[in-house]
Structure 1
Amino acid sequence: MQTNFSDAQLDVPEIARANAIIRKCVHCGFCTATCPSYQVLGDELDSPRGRIYQIKEMLENGRPADAKIVKHIDRCLSCLACTTTCPSGVDYMHLVDHAREHIERTYTRPWHDRALRWVLQLILPYPGRFRLALAAAKLGLPFRRLIPGKLGAMLDIVPPRIEPPAAHDDPQVHPADGPRAGRVALMTGCAQKALNADINAATIRLLTRHGYDVVIADGAGCCGALTHHMGKTDASHRFAGANIRAWMREVDGEGLDAVIINASGCGTTVKDYGWMFQDDPAMAGAAKTISGLTRDITEFMADKGLAEPVHAAQLRVAYHAACSLQHGQKVTEAPKKLLRAAGFKVVEPRDAHLCCGSAGTYNLLQPAIAGELKRRKVATLEATGPQVIAAGNIGCMMQIGSGTGIPVVHTAELLDWATGGPVPRALEGLPEPLAAE
């Protein structure tokens, strides 16, 4: 795609990078076939190609964002299916991130939109605040049918159980069982700790059972993704910087073999810390180091090898590939291979490349589109006739779980169970052979 940035504009590193990305686009339109928002809306402006045109025009003219472009950029899920499809290697992720930052700087949203985003920024990255918000939201559940739009969408994510603080998430070292194979840090996350404490517990057991000391680093917290994708760069960099410093203390101390992530949305962001801090001389080296150490739990376990399964429950598992894992991190085969190695029968839904509609805060900010994507995803998963659905991202688990009666379990929980851990809570009390050992 031809661009016409001035020399003065290209002296700005962010603009120079955006220019290089835009110029790679050859107008082929392959991205429209895999873009979820385009599939639902059928509007060229809601396709990656259409958004690139709009971003190009906005940045070239150095103009503030307007309501039209904000509408179409906001409708992007950042699922990154387009980057998997693109034959030209267009780095759409960083381009749309730059556009969102530009929007945040130059556009004044309607007061209700600003208020909602402020509330999300204030609550979701902090597990204690999120627990309180979930408890308050439960009071509105009896009136759900009377509450429309985005407020109603918030009620839809309220889980039956709000997780209390879990001791295993406190800063500490969980020692390896038996001979020590290495030392890793686990990112315990933010919203996940309030929504499902079992995921971190299962991940810790899985890693220690395979010989790894698991460090919960003091000072680590939210990865920054929630604010990053709202264009709030200062906030996202504060979260990211805290993580980098916390993990680098471990790297410089007893060392780390990896930083383990069990929420793939977080993993995509942490692996991008090197890019995020490339213009910061004080942080660039450390950020690059942490990005290089970061592994999804399934990526790490596939590389190290899974212990012999001790449970023989041959469940039919529908594997949901989270967008942030399959498109953002390009981790596609490892989760399925591990589940098969653990004795599960793995099936995959039609159109597995399409998003479920969760996408961080997307299902709260764009509930209508997210709801349609959920309906489609649940239908394709249920069509495989599974006994359980496995996923590697808490957002996907909550989104899909709100649309089906089939148990939704994290991949790490199933791998932990198969190699000696407890039956996942979502499967307790279900008839044989579902919960059989």
Structure 2
Amino acid sequence: MQTNLADWAKNSSYGEEVDAILRKCVHCGFCSATCPSYQILGDERDSPRGRIYLIKEIVEGKEPTSITQKHLDQCLTCHNCETTCPSGVQYGHLVDIGRELVAERVVRTPADRFRRTLLAAGLNSQVFAPAVKLGRMLRSFMPATLAAKLPEARPAGALPAGRHQRQVLVPLGCVQPALMPSIDAATIRVLDAAGISSVDVSRNTCCGAVNFHLDKVKNSIAQMKSNIDAWVPLLESGQVEAVIMNASGCGAFVKEYPFYLRNEPDYLEKARYLVQHVKDIAEVIAPEAASLKARFKRPLPASAAFHPPCTLQHWQGLRPLTESLLRELGFDLKAFGEANLCCGSAGTYSVLQPEIATGLRDRKLESIGKTSPSVIITSNMGCMSHLQTGTQTPVRHWVEVVDAALSA
């Protein structure tokens, strides 16, 4: 794709990168076939190729409008197009830059600003957990759509007290400990069964994704720096061997820290060091699968459909490893169509774009339902909660199911 960047774009910190990304695009349109928003909306401007053109127009000097912003907002940032693209276009980086440029130039409506500010502040607040507890008590008085966003919490259970030679850090995130504490507890117990202890830094914090995707980029950068300051010394001192993520959305975002902190010289090298030690829980458990399976005290569900989150399969490329692990553990995985497409959760997307998110959820569940699984398993709480709102089939993080099989 030929480009003619405006002078202000050429001289910016991202000018060369934007130009290189744009020039890789060859207009082939393969991305449209795997773009979830395009599958639902059918508008070229809601395809990766269309959004690339919108961003190209901005950096070439055209002023963006609220329509531009709308089409960029409707992107789920699933990165499916990157998996599909034969030219290696780094669409994810481009759309992140494009959204920042538009946010600087287009004023959102008061209602949209209020909604985004409320989400960013609420999900990152210390009162979020008490609010969730209160909300669960008042579920019967809530609208069905809001009540569905508060899944019934499964008990966390007791945590192991033993200390192993191998130690890792399992960060407590912003939303998961309140909405689904059983996932973190199950992760710690499964790691313990594999001979790995979890170090507790007694510090709940967001990876930065929530603020970043709600136009609060400065707040997000501050959270990234805070996490680096807390985690890197533990790695450098040898106290922990890795930072373990049990939410693929958080893991994928943290692995992008070097890109987001590219203009922060004091943190860039630290970010590069950190991501070398960030592992999805599947990466750590995979070598221990056989020994864990031998310790199962309960049978696994009769059959399972594994929904690979976009942040696992397209951002991190860990779908093959995870599915191989699950089969080695003994899961009878049922294959279903369009497993590559997003379920519509995408962080706060399901709140901000409910119609598109619901359409994608129903499409995903229809494909899964044809296999009649006993349970749907996944690697991200957001996907888990979103899918559960549309089905009676239990939806679980796979580590919870393994934890149950290991329990007496």
Q: Secondary structure at the match of 1:358?
A: coil
Task: Say yes or no: does 1:287 pair with 2:286.
Answer: no
In the aligned structure 2, how far is the partner of 1:252 from the partner of 1:5? Answer: 42
Q: Secondary structure at the match of 1:390?
A: strand
Listed as ranges, the matches of 1:154-193 within 5 Å are 154-161=146-153, 175-176=162-163, 180=165, 182-193=166-177
Map of 2:217 onto structure 1:
233
Map of 2:260 onto structure 1:
276
Q: Conserved in 1, the CA contact under 8 Å of 2:155 and 2:182?
A: no
In the aligned structure 1, how far is the partner of 2:150 from the partner of 2:52? Answer: 35
1:304: how far off? 4.9
1:8: how far off? 5.3
Pair 392,315 (structure 1): closer, same or farther in 2 beyond 3 Å:
same
Listed as ranges, the matches of 1:328-407 within 5 Å are 328-407=315-394
In the aligned structure 1, how far is the partner of 2:130 from the partner of 2:311? Answer: 25
AA in 2 matched with 1:75: Q
Map of 1:101 onto structure 2:
100
AA in 1 matched with 2:395: V
Task: Say yes or no: does 1:9 pair with 2:9.
Answer: yes
Q: Secondary structure at the match of 1:236?
A: helix
Q: Which runs of 5+ in 2 are unaligned?
A: none
In the aligned structure 1, how far is the partner of 2:238 from the partner of 2:358? Answer: 46
AA in 2 matched with 1:42: G
Q: Secondary structure at the match of 1:318?
A: strand
How much is the aligned-residue C-alpha RMSD, in angstroms?
2.2
Map of 1:149 onto structure 2:
none
Q: Secondary structure at the match of 1:282?
A: helix
Q: Conserved in 2, the CA contact under 8 Å of 1:127 and 1:194?
A: no
From 208, 217, 229, the counterpart of 1:224: 208
In the aligned structure 2, how far is the partner of 1:358 from the partner of 1:333? Answer: 22
Larger mean CA deviation between 13-22 and 404-413 belongs to 13-22
Larger mean CA deviation between 330-339 and 127-136 belongs to 127-136
Q: Secondary structure at the match of 2:265?
A: coil
AA in 1 matched with 2:242: A
1:255: how far off? 3.4
Q: Conserved in 1, the CA contact under 8 Å of 2:374 and 2:394?
A: yes
Q: Percent identity?
A: 39
From 265, 279, 299, the counterpart of 1:312: 299
1:163-184 Cα distance to aligned partner (Å, 9 max, x none) = 89x996xxxx96445xx3x221
Q: Secondary structure at the match of 2:276?
A: helix
AA in 2 matched with 1:323: C
Map of 1:27 onto structure 2:
27
Q: Conserved in 1, the CA contact under 8 Å of 2:6 and 2:59?
A: no
Pair 163,54 (structure 1): closer, same or farther in 2 beyond 3 Å:
farther
Map of 1:48 onto structure 2:
48
AA in 2 matched with 1:238: A
Q: Secondary structure at the match of 1:13?
A: coil
AA in 2 matched with 1:103: V
AA in 1 matched with 2:23: R
Q: Conserved in 2, the CA contact under 8 Å of 1:175 and 1:212?
A: no
Pair 205,317 (structure 1): closer, same or farther in 2 beyond 3 Å:
same
Task: Say yes or no: does 1:59 pair with 2:79.
Answer: no
Larger mean CA deviation between 350-359 and 275-284 belongs to 275-284
1:367-389 Cα distance to aligned partner (Å, 9 max, x none) = 01111111111111111110001
1:408: how far off? 0.8
Q: Conserved in 1, the CA contact under 8 Å of 2:135 and 2:150?
A: no
Task: Say yes or no: does 1:410 pair with 2:397.
Answer: yes
Map of 1:70 onto structure 2:
69
Pair 411,133 (structure 1): closer, same or farther in 2 beyond 3 Å:
closer
Aligned residues: 405
In the aligned structure 1, how far is the partner of 2:137 from the partner of 2:23? Answer: 49
Q: Conserved in 1, the CA contact under 8 Å of 2:78 and 2:315?
A: yes
1:216: how far off? 2.4
1:10: how far off? 2.1
1:102: how far off? 1.7
AA in 2 matched with 1:204: I
Q: TM-score, normalised by structure 2?
A: 0.93
